[in-house]
Amino acid sequence: MSMGMSKIVKTVSSVVFPFIVIYGLYIIAHGHLTPGGGFQGGAVVASGCAMLLVAHGSIWTIGKIREKQLSILESTGAVAFILLALLGLVFGTVFFKNFLVGNKFLFGEIPGYLSRVANFNTGGVLPLMNFAVGLKVIAGLFAIVLVMAYATSTFKKGEMEDGKR
Partner 1 sequence: MLKRDFAAVIFFTVVAVFFVFAALLTHPFGSPDNPVMDDYIIHNTQTEVGANNGVTSVVFDYRGFDTLGEATVLFTAVAGVILVFRRLKK
- Tell me the three-class secondary structure of 99-152, residue by residue: CCCCCCCCCCECCCCCCCCCCCCECCCHHHHHHHHHHHHHHHHHHHHHHHHHHH
Please report, as residue ranges, which positions from 26 to 45 form the binding site for partner 1 (by CB under 8 A).
31-35, 37, 39
Query: What is the widest separation between alpha-carbon atoms in the chain?
Result: 70
Contact call for residue 133 and partner 1 (CB under 8 A): yes
Considering only residues 64, 118, 159, 160, which one is a binding residue for partner 1 as defined by CB under 8 A? 118
- Number of chain positions touching partner 1 (CB under 8 A): 51
Nearer to partner 1, 3 or 147 (CB): 147
Instruction: Please give the residue ranges that form the binding site for partner 1 (CB under 8 A).
Output: 31-35, 37, 39, 67, 71, 74, 78, 81-82, 85, 95-96, 98, 101-102, 107-119, 122-126, 129-130, 133, 136-137, 140, 143-144, 147-148, 150-152, 154
